[in-house]
Amino acid sequence: MRLASFEVSGRSCVGAVLGTEVTDLQVDEGLESLLPLSLPDVERRLARAAPSQSHALADVRLRAPILRPDKILGIGANFTDFVDEARAAGLQLPPDPIWFDRPRRCVCGPDDEVWIPDGCDDLDYEGELVVVIGRSCRGVSRDRAAEVIGGYTIGNDITMRRRAMRAPLLGKSFDTHAPIGPVLLTPDELGDPQDVRIRTYVNGELRQNGTTRDMILDCYAQIATLSEVMTLSPGDLIFSGTPAGCGLSRTPPRPLFAGDIVSVEIDGIGRLTNTIANAPLSSTDRL
């Protein structure tokens, strides 16, 4: 099933996407409130929906599937080809993958602007498969990690590269720097998360074309590792790593600038597109 958060006629809704339509499931809370339910429960809710609850996708605004995650977690240097490419470019990486978290205001959705800070000349893209936790859990073994996954979406782990090399928190925490979407795909539809191709385009040019088979720690191992030290909650996001092809690993480097259009594509989930824009001097709440 393809689930989405969307706006229509000034209302915030959660729905199921079928073809070119989305059906409002009339959820009072966010999409994360559906994740602990069984798939048949959600399907029954969809079957009870009245015709008036369906809207053409062209008439709604899709938002980030999970608007207010309790936690946004990530792992860096987790693809073998990314590590090889970065080290060849002279980037100093630690021997093991890097864990980080980021604040909620990093989240934005499909077609939202991603802000570039004033004076930033090292903004980079990282197309990623994002794992969405479906059940509250702690101490999950790798063998049982699939049981706590609520779904998957696409993410772009926007990074101020030089700052991130010194301190991941400072390089990955700017507002809008964790766009996700356009939908959440339930695990039954994605299939094997370790056999997923990730493609990233900048202004229509293919920059990344990798596969999750190249992960150092797979999605299940990531859940097991994180749940050793914290309780994971429905709607928590895990940015699971990016393949080779990032802009700052190229010769010469190719960072992002205002006006660039970045799209990340994963078969089955769709395409997440965002435009880079100059950050306003100040901001109000986005969500």
Q: What does the alpha-carbon distance between residue 78 and residue 243 come to, in Å, rounded to a whole number?
A: 8
Model pLDDT for residues 23-40, shown as the tens digit of each residue: 999 998 999 999 999 999
Question: What pTM was computed for the model?
Answer: 0.95
Per DSSP, the three-state class of 17 is strand
Domains of the chain with CATH codes: 2-63 (2.30.30), 72-278 (3.90.850.10)
Cβ 49 vs Cβ 15: under 8 Å: no
pLDDT one-digit tens code per residue, 227-274: 999 999 999 999 999 999 999 889 899 999 999 999 999 999 999 999
Per-residue pLDDT of 64-90, as tens digits, reads 999 999 999 999 999 998 888 888 887
Summarize pLDDT for 191-222 with one digit per residue, the tens.
999 999 999 999 999 999 999 999 999 999 99
| Average pLDDT score over the chain | 94
DSSP3 helix / strand / coil % (the chain, rounded to 5): 25, 35, 40
Q: State the pLDDT at residue 282.
A: 64
